[in-house]
Amino acid sequence: MVALPLFKLASLFLRHVSKYGANRIKHQAHDHPGFRRFAARYGQAIHQLNMRMSVALLRDPEAIARAKEKAEAPTVKTEEQIKKEEDFKAKHGFTASQSRTNRPSNILSVWKRKFRPLPEAKAVDLFADVIGDTFILTVAMVLIVYEWWRSSQKPDHNSERIKELSDKLSELEEEREKRRCAKRAAS
């Protein structure tokens, strides 16, 4: 008969209860004024990072290469077009040494770009969700590590059985060799 896996049931219960702890953290993020300010600030930081990563991952390298080739293609411009382009460069911080494809880092870099901030309530919700999920994940990881450590402390029954069988096999082989030697000596 298999014993009831009490540890596994307890860990499942603990993981379930940790969801209530995460919900409590989310509730406190809205109610406590100091924690709300902290959550709003870091919620905005998480939003900015999330947006930057989304934009960076959605960039199509082939489209960028095609645009660069198109920008480098020679064109004939009128004086009016040249003047408009120089005014645009002056307005947006281009220097004379920068070409079309070598734009200033504030236009090209996604990582330095600032996206529109979230409303405070949404920023608090975002941070609270991240902290709540982190709490649940931490509880689950601690339980998994504890289970691994607990199982590594137990003796391995299979290896013990293999060792016993190999010892028994070596004894039988020795006994067989002794019998062969005894038969050879008798004949």
CA angle 130, 134, 136 (to 5 degrees): 120
**One-letter amino acid of 45:** A
pLDDT of residue 38: 93
Instruction: Give the tokens for residue 73.
Output: 């293609």
Residue 88: CA count within 13 A, CB half-sphere = 12
Q: Kindly give the confidence (pLDDT) of every residue in the chain, 187 residues in length, as a single tens digit, with 9 standing for 90 and above.
A: 455 677 778 878 887 888 888 888 888 888 888 989 999 999 999 999 988 888 777 776 776 666 666 666 666 677 887 888 888 878 877 654 444 444 444 345 777 778 888 889 999 999 999 998 898 889 889 988 888 888 888 777 888 889 999 999 999 999 999 999 888 888 7
The number of angstroms, rounded, from the C-alpha of 129 to the middle of its chain's C-alpha atoms is 16
**One-letter amino acid of 37:** R
CB contact at 8 A, 118 and 47? yes
Q: Which long-range contacts (CB under 8 A, 24 or more apart) does 91-100 make?
A: 100/71, 100/72
pLDDT of residue 159: 84
- Euclidean distance between CA atoms 36 and 123, whole angstroms: 10
Residue with tokens 């008969």: 1
Ordered by start, the domain boundaries in the chain are 18-59+111-154, 157-187
pLDDT of residue 58: 78
Handedness of CA 24, 27, 29, 32 (dihedral sign): negative
Q: What pTM does this model have?
A: 0.54
